[in-house]
Structure 1
Amino acid sequence: MTHTAVDVIRAKRDRHELDDDQIDWVVDAYTRGVVADEQMSALAMAVFLNGMTARETARWTQAMIKSGTTLRLDVGRPTVDKHSTGGVGDKITLPLAPLVAACGAAVPQLSGRGLGHTGGTLDKLESVPGWRAALSEAEIEAQLRSVGAVVCAATSGLAPADKKLYALRDVTGTVESIPLIAASIMSKKIAEGADALVLDVKVGSGAFMKTEADARALAAALVGIGVDHGVRTTALLTDMSVPLGRAVGNAVEVAESVEVLRGGGPADVVELTVALAREMLASAGIDRDPAAVLASGEAYEVWARMIRAQGGDPDAPLPVGTHTHVVEASEDGYLTTLDAYAVGVGAWRLGAGRARKEDPVQFGAGILCHAKPGDRVVKGQPVLELRTDTPDAIPVVLAGLADAWSVGAGPPAARPLVLDTIRG
């Protein structure tokens, strides 16, 4: 059947369900440059406004997978991956990948860079001297065999349609579409070739999904696509109303992750790392207690081998921002709020993040949260510590943080970190 971009745009504009042939054609034609950016922009907006059925979303995902190559991993272990929808202080991949590998699975973690208030795993790891993100498919497979875990950039051949469409959505106001988000995430993850996948779908001010209803809808869509493609898929709904851990940035988050791998670190980072590890190991059919493995130091040894395998020095000093500014409590009491979004934006403005994909980041920039909601504070006690190489940014960041935290007479009600689990 012969299609035209205009016919497909009109069909979705008029709220019709696109058939498989239309979806296959338009994704392939856009990847090849036959469908122009302005035409795909119109179609993306029609999808944004009118949505897609579960069948359409699954087929769109399949078409994006078929636009490139898929990894066929044969590494002698069950393979399981994890994906987070992004948050503030979300460094979980760093301790999680070596932990799950230490338990006997292989973890092919193809990650991305930060944009805006959410950090990127590759930016964090590149703060380790010598570490490199770009690996070939052969290097990925060899490292999975020898180490059990790899965290690197996606190879150029995986889901090229997604890379092209994501950049277009970013500049046309069509990012916040659950079908397009789900297809974007799952096309890359399925193309990685892992046997199982665990998703960390975050909800709250620092997350992409601000409401629990939207987060549940996204989680259900992601799990449904995974199951339809024969990948054992589970999603955890997790809270992102406050920063995860006490470090927000690049090198500061690596340092905190190493603390966790050495048996310490913030309780919430440990809790979520272990919760996700349990799901990953169950999906891989491995019966080990990740909490015990984490406490034993085995996971740190895998971390060190993983860093060395990619040219990094796990023992080298990490970058530190050249200028610091401490924000102190103005009264005695309990920290009652600490807004994740405001802290994430603050770290970004200090240089830890980027406004455009081509912008550099400051590896030593970020914010340390010396107090978290529920902690007792006294007047003059440090609450936040700002680090940057560009001190001119500090006044703007302080203004943005002015209403981001508060102190009250009593502690706030406790909120669970893991809100729910959605299984396929």
Structure 2
Amino acid sequence: MTGTPGAEPFDAVDVIRTKRDGHPLEAAQIDWVVDAYTRGAVAEEQMSALAMAILLRGMTRPEVARWTGAMIASGERMDFSGLSRPTSDKHSTGGVGDKITLPLAPLVASFGVAVPQLSGRGLGHTGGTLDKLEAIPGWRASLSNAELMAQLEDVGAVVCAAGAGLAPADKKLYALRDVTGTVESVPLIASSIMSKKIAEGTGALVLDVKVGSGAFMKDLDAARELARTMVDLGTDAGVRTVALLTDMEVPLGRTAGNALEVRESVEVLDGGGPADVVDLTVALAVEMLAGAGRPVPEAEVRAALGDGRAKDVWRRMIAAQGGDPDAPLPRARERREVLADRSGVVTRLDAYAVGIAAWRLGAGRSRREDPVQAGAGVELHAKPGDEITAGQPLLTLHTDTPARFERASAALAGRWSVDDAGSAGPRPLVLDRVG
């Protein structure tokens, strides 16, 4: 519907046509359509059409800024100025095996900087931080503003769902993009992320912009465009914002899936875990601490992962939200191994294929109302650069639903390679810095 005839200053179809035909939207059109969609005067199918037009036609810088401002204006703004410590936050544009928030938030908090990490659920082939943490028995994602503030003051780190009052326009649009093929739009990604982060009220923000097959941004130039757009939006709003462009050609770590990734994150907090997860966690923590005005040398940040400081904050953070940090994590009822068909060196393991496989196994959702399986996902036994023997497991697929194995295996077919010799080596983990 478009509201009562004559009661609305614009017509949704006219706004859609404007963008469909490649023209910039006027500021008043943007303000109206975001507000009208939030209150239900613009129908889901109309916003779907507009989102697709934005994906295909793009937006100018002034349009993106105005769209972001309209999303912020749709709800409340938080204020952390009353806390006894500075705030810093991180946001990832989404990747496969990207469990970095889990060790990162308690690591940064262990140095006296509060981390208000308002996170989301699975979007497309990438996992959602809240879905991962909900694999921990008893843990709850929803906190009141009072609970959030109290936990930030006491523990120093919170990972929770954004409240319904924070950028409600984005909450509706985020779910819609997931099921209409419009996730990859740079203006919609930038405004979605930055409207929440600016409304959230954090003092500093570090953006982890993923680049590669497992990311929404497949090439470096597109990722730089997104990073620059978001850094400019944050800086103009008074938030100290920087972005790291990081590699997502192969999955991060050795797991993709909810409980699997929690288990691996705890290994990192115990001083172990995969080197790439540790290195990226440390790099982002260094940036977050510097942005909050509490710079810490990299070696000291790395040490906090091994000496128990970050792990102590993790345990308190999980317990504060009703979780049992000592409880066994769920495991899938069924497993199937994918075996190497020859001996040699793994030269390719496509991150997108692994993400799709994990999704099909039950770790993600096809519709916004779908449940996820806590134990489902993909475990990686070898990554590019590793030697492997014919018949040795390359991957293990985990699910509660054996019927899912076939489609998950199909997603992986032809998406990994084993050769006689390896290449020059993997790409650097951090590809660039913007800001």
What TM-score do you get using the length of structure 2 for normalisation? Answer: 0.93
Q: 2:320 aligns with which of 309, 325, 329?
A: 309
Does the 8 A contact of 2:96 with 2:252 survive in 1? yes
For residues 199-210 of structure 1, the aligned pairs below 5 Å read: 199-210=207-218
What SS does the corresponding residue of 2:410 show, helix, strand or coil?
helix
For residues 66-81 of structure 1, the aligned pairs below 5 Å read: 66-73=73-80, 74-81=82-89
Q: Does 1:338 align with 2:349?
A: yes
Could you tell me how far 1:385 is from its partner in structure 2? 1.3
> How many correspondences in the alignment?
423
Give me the whole-angstrom Cα distance separating, in 1, the residues matched to 2:37 and 2:99.
34
Q: 2:365 aligns with which of 342, 354, 372?
A: 354
C-alpha spacing 1:115/1:19, structure 2 compared with 1 (3 Å):
closer
Q: Does 1:233 align with 2:241?
A: yes
Could you tell me how far 1:21 is from its partner in structure 2? 2.9
Q: Which residue of 1 aligns with 2:387?
A: 376
Q: Which residue of 1 aligns with 2:196?
A: 188
* Aligned residue type for 2:403: D
* Aligned residue type for 2:74: S
Give me the whole-angstrom Cα distance separating, in 1, the residues matched to 2:345 and 2:181.
40
Does the 8 A contact of 1:248 with 1:366 survive in 2? yes
Report Cα offsets for 1:233-264 as digits up to 9, x if no partner.
Answer: 11111111101000111111001000000110
Q: Which residue of 1 aligns with 2:3?
A: none
Give me the whole-angstrom Cα distance separating, in 2, the residues matched to 1:41 and 1:106.
37
What SS does the corresponding residue of 1:151 show, helix, strand or coil?
strand
Q: Which residue of 2 aligns with 1:65?
A: 72
What SS does the corresponding residue of 2:265 show, helix, strand or coil?
helix
Q: Does 1:137 align with 2:148?
A: no
For residues 22-421 of structure 1, the aligned pairs below 5 Å read: 22-73=29-80, 74-288=82-296, 289-414=300-425, 415-421=427-433
C-alpha spacing 1:203/1:301, structure 2 compared with 1 (3 Å):
same
Could you tell me how far 1:412 is from its partner in structure 2? 2.2
C-alpha spacing 1:8/1:342, structure 2 compared with 1 (3 Å):
closer
Give me the whole-angstrom Cα distance separating, in 1, the residues matched to 2:400 and 2:42.
44
C-alpha spacing 1:344/1:39, structure 2 compared with 1 (3 Å):
closer
Give identity over the alignment, percent.
69
What SS does the corresponding residue of 2:208 show, helix, strand or coil?
strand
Could you tell me how far 1:34 is from its partner in structure 2? 3.0
Give me the whole-angstrom Cα distance separating, in 2, the residues matched to 1:282 and 1:202.
21
Does the 8 A contact of 2:257 with 2:358 survive in 1? yes
Report Cα offsets for 1:206-249 as digits up to 9, x if no partner.
Answer: 11111222111111111111111111111111111101000111
Where does the alignment leave 5 or more consecutive residues of structure 1 unmatched? Answer: none
Does the 8 A contact of 2:124 with 2:178 survive in 1? no
* Aligned residue type for 1:368: E
Does the 8 A contact of 2:76 with 2:166 survive in 1? yes
C-alpha spacing 1:38/1:386, structure 2 compared with 1 (3 Å):
closer
C-alpha spacing 1:348/1:173, structure 2 compared with 1 (3 Å):
closer
Give me the whole-angstrom Cα distance separating, in 1, the residues matched to 2:202 and 2:99.
21
* Aligned residue type for 1:417: L
Give me the whole-angstrom Cα distance separating, in 2, the residues matched to 1:33 and 1:398.
41
Give me the whole-angstrom Cα distance separating, in 1, the residues matched to 2:293 and 2:190.
26
Does the 8 A contact of 1:332 with 1:379 survive in 2? yes
What SS does the corresponding residue of 2:122 show, helix, strand or coil?
coil
Give me the whole-angstrom Cα distance separating, in 2, the residues matched to 1:172 and 1:304.
38
Give me the whole-angstrom Cα distance separating, in 2, the residues matched to 1:108 and 1:18.
33
C-alpha spacing 1:11/1:345, structure 2 compared with 1 (3 Å):
closer
C-alpha spacing 1:348/1:148, structure 2 compared with 1 (3 Å):
same
What SS does the corresponding residue of 1:220 show, helix, strand or coil?
helix
Give me the whole-angstrom Cα distance separating, in 1, the residues matched to 2:328 and 2:162.
27
Could you tell me how far 1:330 is from its partner in structure 2? 2.7
What SS does the corresponding residue of 1:48 show, helix, strand or coil?
helix
Give me the whole-angstrom Cα distance separating, in 2, the residues matched to 1:399 and 1:7.
43
What SS does the corresponding residue of 1:209 show, helix, strand or coil?
coil
C-alpha spacing 1:368/1:44, structure 2 compared with 1 (3 Å):
closer
Give me the whole-angstrom Cα distance separating, in 2, the residues matched to 1:76 and 1:60.
33
What SS does the corresponding residue of 1:217 show, helix, strand or coil?
helix
What SS does the corresponding residue of 1:155 show, helix, strand or coil?
coil
Could you tell me how far 1:372 is from its partner in structure 2? 0.8
Give me the whole-angstrom Cα distance separating, in 2, the residues matched to 1:366 and 1:250.
7
What TM-score do you get using the length of structure 1 for normalisation? Answer: 0.95
Does the 8 A contact of 2:361 with 2:399 survive in 1? yes
What SS does the corresponding residue of 1:384 show, helix, strand or coil?
strand
Give me the whole-angstrom Cα distance separating, in 2, the residues matched to 1:216 and 1:82.
17
C-alpha spacing 1:349/1:8, structure 2 compared with 1 (3 Å):
closer
Give me the whole-angstrom Cα distance separating, in 1, the residues matched to 2:31 and 2:327.
49
Could you tell me how far 1:39 is from its partner in structure 2? 4.0
Could you tell me how far 1:48 is from its partner in structure 2? 2.8
Give me the whole-angstrom Cα distance separating, in 1, the residues matched to 2:181 and 2:385.
37
Give me the whole-angstrom Cα distance separating, in 1, the residues matched to 2:21 and 2:413.
46
* Aligned residue type for 1:351: G
* Aligned residue type for 2:331: V
Does the 8 A contact of 2:35 with 2:70 survive in 1? yes
Does the 8 A contact of 1:198 with 1:234 survive in 2? yes
Where does the alignment leave 5 or more consecutive residues of structure 2 unmatched? Answer: 1-7
